[in-house]
């Protein structure tokens, strides 16, 4: 950008810093909250919804189906009491390596000592022995490999996560552990503390601990940097949960952990298609390692959205490369019109009431990069301040949206789409252009599938997009069903999109929709939140017969 443009923007931006933050309609950027021990009560969930959470994530890495069902029932009660919409995301376990601590007692690990990783889960976890859920680790690791262990990789606190380095000496495999530890200490002194890893009984792996830490809880994630783990992406345990808990609760989103290939998404979609209504469930591919990064373009083509899991990616990638992946991945998602979700933004708020300065800046930069949603994990699942975390992330997002360069983004998106545009793409971009030109306060889109509204949101208009979903009655000759609920809830993860469900008696192609009660409901909704006032201009996008129409309406008193 030329220097003169930067100078022109500086006075305005500095003035914004000094202005007090003003309460407003929920930020366009959505917030995904993970519900767990610290956020499972009706009261806390209600407060989270009022603070701005629009998607509830259920992480099956911890807790059984009964526990999550109880939390979900509390969510339903909270939705009714607050009258705030919220969709449900099921997060799979996938090929996740875990350290199992059945006693749940804290485990202290001391730097420059050794610890054995064993696939024998019947053994008790101690400071010298950690049972894991994978028997092939000894064959997968090699000299120089880095192994991380922690809860929710990683909080950044050196005393809650630990890292090991591998140096495989297979000729020591027959030695007992005490003798091996003694040799390790001698060799470490002679070789400037070089790490040692060896095999015990063919499957156990011994590692040198590089930093002192205390692991707490029942499960800790184990990650070997840039090593492929030969386990299925959709595990049998995941299939069991989806076919029972998922079907029972009509989940809106499936977060597919450790997505490595486009085939992973296709396999998951084929499985969902056999489970009745779950054929409508959207699949969000979770990119967590180098393999997923390499096949990103093919995965994006198959998936409905992308989750950038920066915790594990921060292990596989050098720190200086993480931001490059974030920017490139979000750009690709934006141009494809598919939601991009960013994780691990305010880890320190797990234990603290305020984020660090770097974290606050990180949230803003994710919004400026173009992400659709921020996903909170440990911060809301086991953090001390789940409601405050959602609130502060929402406030930071709202401030970042004020300075988002929509004009540049719009031009970039139109250029990327190219010509000739499809019919819907042309209508969507025209609606956004018209709304900006006439300074409309809101765009109202009547839709049945939700596609038109998502396309409008793709162009990131500066005003909210109210998506009025018109339900449709469908039949398979045996049963009558009413569509619209999935489309409504799945809009809750799209940036700038705020859905409403219309009365089923209304048709999506009414020619007099602007005079109909359903239009008035949309206006009343906007007025209730203070985004529509008398004499405002409103842009309406609707289907009239076989044609799509964009209208500009100036409201009266």
Q: For residues 398 and 27, give the distance between their C-alpha atoms in angstroms, rounded to a whole number.
A: 5
pLDDT of 242 higher than 70: yes
pLDDT at 158: 63
Cβ–Cβ contacts within 10 Å for residue 113, how many? Answer: 16
Question: CATH: 3.20.20.60, 3.50.50.60, 3.30.1330.60, 3.40.50.300. Which one for 26-95+231-404?
Answer: 3.20.20.60
pLDDT band at 229 (very low <50, low <70, confident <90, very high): confident
314 or 99: which carries more pLDDT confidence?
Answer: 99
Cβ–Cβ contacts within 10 Å for residue 359, how many? Answer: 21
pLDDT band at 556 (very low <50, low <70, confident <90, very high): confident
pLDDT of 456 higher than 90: yes
pLDDT of 245 higher than 70: yes
Percent residues over pLDDT 90 in the chain: 54
Residue 553 CB burial class (10 angstroms; 0-12, 13-18, ≥19): middle
Q: Which CATH architecture has domain 98-224?
A: Beta Barrel (2.40)
The pairs formed by 118-121 with CB atoms below 8 angstroms and a separation of 24 or more are 118/200, 118/203, 118/204, 118/205, 119/203, 119/204, 120/203, 120/204
Cβ–Cβ contacts within 10 Å for residue 174, how many? Answer: 11
Least confident of 10-14, 171-175, 426-430: 171-175
Q: For residues 331 and 345, give the distance between their C-alpha atoms in angstroms, rounded to a whole number.
A: 19
pLDDT digits (tens, 9 = 90+) for 537-553: 999 998 776 778 899 99
Whole-number mean pLDDT of the chain? 85
371 or 531: which carries more pLDDT confidence?
Answer: 371
Closest CA to 460 of 526, 394, 410: 410
pLDDT at 510: 46
Cβ–Cβ contacts within 10 Å for residue 488, how many? Answer: 21
Least confident of 165-169, 328-332, 348-352, 513-517: 513-517
pLDDT digits (tens, 9 = 90+) for 187-225: 444 444 443 444 455 788 888 888 888 888 777 888 887
pLDDT digits (tens, 9 = 90+) for 359-382: 999 999 999 999 999 999 989 998
Least confident of 321-325, 423-427, 508-512: 508-512
pLDDT band at 157 (very low <50, low <70, confident <90, very high): low
pLDDT of 169 higher than 90: no
HEC string of 456-505 equals HHHCCCCCCEEEEECCEEEECCCCEEEECHHHHHHHHHCCCEEEEECCCC
268: part of which helix (H) or strand (E)? helix 262-273
**Residue 551 backbone dihedrals phi, psi, to 5 degrees:** -120, 150
Cβ–Cβ contacts within 10 Å for residue 98, how many? Answer: 18
pLDDT digits (tens, 9 = 90+) for 43-61: 999 999 999 999 999 999 8
pLDDT band at 10 (very low <50, low <70, confident <90, very high): low
Q: How do beta strands 219-224 and 97-100 pair?
A: antiparallel
Q: For residues 101 and 84, give the distance between their C-alpha atoms in angstroms, rounded to a whole number.
A: 38
Cβ pair 224, 171 in contact under 8 A = no
CATH class, range 407-555? alpha beta
pLDDT of 26 higher than 70: no
pLDDT at 8: 42
487 or 502: which carries more pLDDT confidence?
Answer: 487
Closest CA to 224 of 155, 136, 321: 136
pLDDT of 235 higher than 80: yes
Say if residue 154 is preceded by a cis peptide, omega within 30 of 0: yes
pLDDT band at 181 (very low <50, low <70, confident <90, very high): low
Per-domain residue ranges of the chain? 26-95+231-404, 98-224, 407-555
pLDDT of 183 higher than 90: no
pLDDT band at 153 (very low <50, low <70, confident <90, very high): low
pLDDT digits (tens, 9 = 90+) for 275-334: 988 999 999 999 999 999 999 999 999 999 999 999 888 888 888 999 999 999 999 999
- The owner of tokens 């019109």 is 337
Average confidence (pLDDT) over 513-525: 74
pLDDT of 143 higher than 70: yes
Average confidence (pLDDT) over 142-158: 69
Q: For residues 3 and 241, give the distance between their C-alpha atoms in angstroms, rounded to a whole number.
A: 55
DSSP secondary structure letter of residue 421: P
pLDDT at 457: 96
């Amino acid at each position: 950008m030329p220097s003169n443009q930067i100078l022109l923007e500086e006075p305005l931006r500095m003035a914004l810093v000094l202005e007090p933050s003003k309460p407003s309609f929920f930020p366009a950027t959505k917030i995904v909250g993970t519900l767990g021990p610290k956020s499972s009560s009706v009261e806390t969930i209600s407060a989270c919804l009022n603070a701005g959470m629009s998607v509830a994530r259920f992480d099956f890495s911890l807790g059984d189906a009964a526990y999550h069902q109880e939390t979900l029932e509390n969510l339903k009660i909270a939705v009714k009491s607050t009258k705030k919409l919220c969709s449900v995301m099921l997060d799979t376990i996938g090929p996740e390596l875990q350290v199992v601590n059945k006693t749940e007692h804290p485990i202290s690990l001391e730097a420059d000592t050794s610890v054995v990783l064993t696939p024998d889960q019947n053994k008790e976890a101690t400071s010298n022995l950690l049972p894991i859920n994978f028997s092939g680790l000894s064959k997968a690791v090699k000299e120089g490999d880095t192994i991380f262990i922690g809860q929710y990789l990683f909080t950044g606190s050196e005393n809650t996560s630990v890292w090991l380095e591998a140096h495989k000496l297979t000729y020591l495999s027959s030695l007992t552990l005490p003798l091996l530890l003694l040799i390790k200490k001698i060799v470490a002194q002679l070789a400037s503390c070089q790490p040692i890893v060896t095999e015990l009984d063919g499957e156990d792996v011994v590692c040198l601990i590089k930093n002192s830490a205390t692991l707490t809880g029942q499960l800790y994630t184990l990650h070997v940097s840039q090593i492929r783990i030969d386990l299925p992406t959709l595990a049998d345990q995941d299939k069991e949960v989806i076919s029972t808990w998922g079907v029972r609760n009509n989940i809106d989103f499936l977060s597919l952990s450790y997505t490595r290939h486009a085939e992973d998404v296709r396999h998951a979609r084929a499985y969902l298609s056999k489970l009745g209504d779950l054929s409508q469930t959207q699949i969000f591919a979770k990119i967590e390692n180098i393999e997923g990064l390499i096949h990103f373009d093919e995965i994006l083509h198959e998936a409905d959205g992308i989750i950038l899991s920066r915790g594990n990616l921060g292990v596989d990638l050098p720190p200086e490369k993480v931001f490059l992946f974030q920017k490139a991945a979000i750009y690709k998602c934006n141009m494809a019109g598919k939601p991009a979700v960013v994780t691990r933004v305010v880890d320190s708020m797990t234990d603290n009431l305020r984020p660090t300065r770097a974290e606050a800046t990180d949230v803003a930069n994710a919004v400026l990069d173009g992400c659709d949603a921020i996903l909170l994990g440990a911060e809301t699942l086991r953090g001390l301040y789940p409601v405050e975390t959602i609130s502060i992330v929402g406030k930071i997002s709202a401030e970042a949206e004020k300075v988002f360069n929509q004009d540049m983004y719009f031009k970039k998106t139109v250029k990327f789409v190219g010509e000739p545009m499809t019919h819907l793409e042309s209508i969507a971009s025209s609606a956004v252009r018209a709304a900006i030109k006439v300074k409309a306060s809101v765009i109202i889109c009547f839709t049945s599938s939700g596609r038109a509204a998502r396309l409008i949101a793709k162009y990131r208009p500066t005003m909210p997009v109210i998506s009025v979903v018109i339900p449709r009655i469908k039949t398979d000759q045996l049963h009558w069903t009413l569509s619209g609920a999935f489309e409504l809830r799945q809009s809750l993860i799209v940036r700038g999109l705020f859905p409403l469900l219309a009365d089923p008696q209304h048709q999506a192609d009414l020619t007099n929709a602007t005079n109909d009660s359903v239009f008035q409901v949309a206006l009343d909704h906007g007025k209730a939140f203070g985004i529509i006032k008398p004499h405002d201009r409103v842009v309406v996008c609707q289907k009239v017969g076989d044609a799509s129409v964009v209208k500009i309406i100036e409201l009266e008193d």
